[in-house]
Amino acid sequence: MYKTSDKLTAWFIGIGMATLFVGGSLGPIQKLEHVGINLYTALNSIGLASYYQGLTIHAVLNALVWTTFFIVGFFTFIIPRSLEKPLTMPKLNVLSLIIMVIGLVMAAIPILLNLATVLFTFYPPLQANPFFYIGLVLVVVGSWVAGYGFYATYLSWRKEHKGEQTPLIALGSIITMVMWQIATIGVAVELLVFVIPWSFGLVAGVDPQLARTFFWFTGHPLVYFWLLPAYISWYCMMPKQAGGKLFSEPLARLVFWLFLALSVPVGLHHQFVDPGVPQGWKIVHFVLTFSLFVPSMITAFTVIASLEIGGRARGGTGLLNWVRHLPWGNPSFAAQNLAMILFAFGGISGLTNSSYNLNLAIHNTMWVPGHFHLTVGSAVTLTFIGIAYWLVPMLSNKPLWSAKMGVWQAWTWFVGMLLMSNALHIIGLNLSVPRRTMLGAAPYAATDWQPMLIEAAIGGTILGISGLLFYINMVGTVLQKKRLETPIEMPVAEVYHAEEPVPNWLDAWRPWIVVTVLLIVVAYGPVLVNLISNMQLTSPGFKLW
């Protein structure tokens, strides 16, 4: 029944993992450069021109390609199973894979030829080769097409199941795709209307402030596009793996709807120190960003309560003793649980980032990569790795090569990330050390930065080892001859209070879409009208690498 979608999933996550391998490999090399161990001279011989070309590869592959490919693949797998029906229009989903791969190749060539060393934010007027931008557009368009395939499947399910509540896994996935569709309008306008014509020389200039604003319209909801699939696993799958039940299903639904409504109108909190954005709108986005913490706080309560049910069912007692009774020997569970713990720290530093004037203390310092390696680099990536520990065996019909190695991988990631992010947060906040900088060659680098940079380099190296353990395990799983003796099933958590009906407004699209669009119009309408009416397309392109 799921043959086509399973095959597609294998392609999506396989390509995603391959890109994470390349992008991730560059991470430890960056951290070593900061302490004076410069491996870039050696990498010159294989064509890497600079630290910043490597940083572009690291960021584009890890943050954009790995995440998007894994998410689309994961949804291609879980939506049909959650709705218990195969993809209605599988050709759309095949098409989405083809478009995304073409986009990936098209963007990768200029990056590898050092024609697009503009990092993943590609702030104009740094000007990359046009095919870099077109490739990125195609990756996004491909993910839209995957969304259309999911919507078609969902609509046909709704026709067949009138009056029934959408299963939570499918609902969360579809909400994520709809949010993504709305959010990516910003970067689509930036690239299609302004940047691509300018990179072809059809128009002479761009307005950098306007371009940044369109970028961050997409740039912050991008974070929730990464995170919500992890939330789906935490809410709907992990309780099952822990032997527990989903504690409060209606709240889980509410959380996904709140993310639809609130993910987009918060982007200006990335632009608190931008010169051209009016103060009042910065404050509006600051308040909206704070409101966005509430659904994440609810998630913390509900997910921990759901796991506690499992820990107690497995013999745990007392206030905290149940934690020890969780299935820590299961690598899929261990990885995701440790990812959640790291996310707690990342959430706190994220609150600082979005705190209006407090942001002055840490904007563009090492604090920021310290933060997002805990979120996208751990909450998301380590959770996806945890998912892979059951998903890859299920897809390949082969047992996980080594569960023990999987547990080691999860813990080394946890320890490496704690060391690295701790060091980066401290040097960012206390010493204003800039991010995205080849610090080993910076004339202003101070000796009191060294202890923390060394800690970060040790953490980064441990993370590199953790990554290797993951890839050895994946390759070992796929290449072995052994077959599964008992088939694996997708973990789906039961609901704790199943007798309580879920109110209808938590399964109704129209009111939530209206709220979403209204919030975006109110929070972004005036500021965009202001910027567009004062637009000055005066900046020519620069290629400074």
Catalytic residue flag (residue 2): no
Among 353, 381, 412, 437, the residue binding another protein under the rule CB under 8 A is: 437
Catalytic residue flag (residue 436): yes
How far apart are alpha carbons 462 and 466 in whole angstroms? 6
User: Is residue 431 part of the contact set for another protein (CB under 8 A)?
Assistant: yes
Of 232, 278, 534, the closest CA to residue 391 belongs to 232
How far apart are alpha carbons 204 and 206 in whole angstroms? 7
How far apart are alpha carbons 342 and 418 in whole angstroms? 8
Catalytic residue flag (residue 363): no
CB-CB neighbours of 297 under 10 Å: 11
User: Is residue 353 part of the contact set for another protein (CB under 8 A)?
Assistant: no
User: Is residue 275 part of the contact set for another protein (CB under 8 A)?
Assistant: yes
Among 4, 38, 181, 355, the residue binding another protein under the rule CB under 8 A is: 355
Residue 303 CB, nearest approach to another protein (Å): 12
Provide the CA 146 distance to its chain's centre, in angstroms: 17
Query: In this structure, are residues 124 and 539 in contact, taking their beta carbons and an 8 Å threshold?
Result: yes
Catalytic residue flag (residue 224): yes
User: Is residue 282 part of the contact set for another protein (CB under 8 A)?
Assistant: yes
**Sign of torsion over alpha carbons 59, 126, 456, 461:** positive
Q: Is it true that the peptide bond before 221 is cis, omega within 30 degrees of 0?
A: no
How far apart are alpha carbons 426 and 398 in whole angstroms? 44
Q: Which residue(s) pair with 539 in the sheet?
A: 206
Catalytic residue flag (residue 510): no
DSSP letter, residue 115? S
Q: Looking at 10-18, 62-70, 318-326, 442-450, which segment touches another protein (CB under 8 A)?
A: 442-450
User: Is residue 203 part of the contact set for another protein (CB under 8 A)?
Assistant: no
Catalytic residue flag (residue 253): no
Phi, psi of 84 (to 5 degrees): 55, 45
User: Is residue 434 part of the contact set for another protein (CB under 8 A)?
Assistant: yes
Among 105, 160, 200, 278, the residue binding another protein under the rule CB under 8 A is: 278
Which of the residues 69, 214, 372, 414 is marked catalytic?
A: 372
Among 351, 415, 468, 488, the residue binding another protein under the rule CB under 8 A is: 351
Q: Looking at 22-30, 94-102, 179-187, 205-213, which segment touches another protein (CB under 8 A)?
A: 205-213
Which region holds residue 436: left if phi is over 0, alpha if psi is between -120 and 50, else beta? left
Give alpha helix (H) positions in 161-199: 168-183, 185-189, 196-199
Among 102, 119, 415, 454, the residue binding another protein under the rule CB under 8 A is: 119
Which of the residues 371, 425, 496, 524 is marked catalytic?
A: 371
Among 42, 105, 273, 522, the residue binding another protein under the rule CB under 8 A is: 273
User: Is residue 507 part of the contact set for another protein (CB under 8 A)?
Assistant: no
User: Is residue 44 part of the contact set for another protein (CB under 8 A)?
Assistant: no
Q: Looking at 105-113, 157-165, 369-377, 429-437, which segment touches another protein (CB under 8 A)?
A: 429-437
Q: Which is nearer to another protein, 391 or 439 (CB)?
A: 439
Residue 187 CB, nearest approach to another protein (Å): 17
Residue 266 CB, nearest approach to another protein (Å): 13
Count of CA atoms in the C-beta half-sphere (13 A) of 362: 25
Q: Which is nearer to another protein, 444 or 485 (CB)?
A: 444
Residue 465 CB, nearest approach to another protein (Å): 28
Measured CA to CA in angstroms, residue 415 lies from 404, 466, 475 at distances of: 17, 10, 24
Among 42, 442, 475, 498, the residue binding another protein under the rule CB under 8 A is: 442
Residue 79 CB, nearest approach to another protein (Å): 25
**Site map 283..302 versus another protein, x via CB under 8 A:** x--xx--xx-xx--xx--xx
Residue 137 CB, nearest approach to another protein (Å): 22
How far apart are alpha carbons 8 and 20 in whole angstroms? 18
**Site map 138..157 versus another protein, x via CB under 8 A:** --------------------
Residues in CB range of 382: below 8 A, 6 or more apart: 335, 336, 338, 339, 342, 410, 413, 414, 417
Q: Which residue(s) pair with 495 in the sheet?
A: 246
Q: Which is nearer to another protein, 313 or 465 (CB)?
A: 313
**Site map 449..488 versus another protein, x via CB under 8 A:** ----------------------------------------
Among 329, 500, 508, 521, the residue binding another protein under the rule CB under 8 A is: 500
Among 193, 358, 405, 478, the residue binding another protein under the rule CB under 8 A is: 358
Which of the residues 150, 224, 286, 343 is marked catalytic?
A: 224
Q: Which is nearer to another protein, 401 or 496 (CB)?
A: 496
Q: Which is nearer to another protein, 144 or 293 (CB)?
A: 293
Among 89, 109, 305, 478, the residue binding another protein under the rule CB under 8 A is: 305
Which of the residues 293, 314, 435, 471 is marked catalytic?
A: 435
Q: Which two tokens stand for residue 113?
A: 């030829």
Catalytic residue flag (residue 371): yes
Q: Which two tokens stand for residue 431?
A: 């010493």
Residues in CB range of 27: below 8 A, 6 or more apart: 58, 62, 460, 463, 464
**Site map 232..271 versus another protein, x via CB under 8 A:** ---------------xx-xx-------------------x
Measured CA to CA in angstroms, residue 432 lies from 368, 372, 426, 429, 448 at distances of: 11, 17, 9, 6, 12
Residues in CB range of 293: below 8 A, 6 or more apart: 347, 351
Q: Which is nearer to another protein, 177 or 227 (CB)?
A: 227
b/e per residue 109-139 (b: at least 16 CB within 10 A): ebbeebbbbbbbebebbbbbbbbbbbbbbbb
Cα angle: 540, vertex 542, 545; to 5 degrees: 175
Residues in CB range of 278: below 8 A, 6 or more apart: 527, 530
Residues tagged active-site = 220, 224, 371-373, 435-436
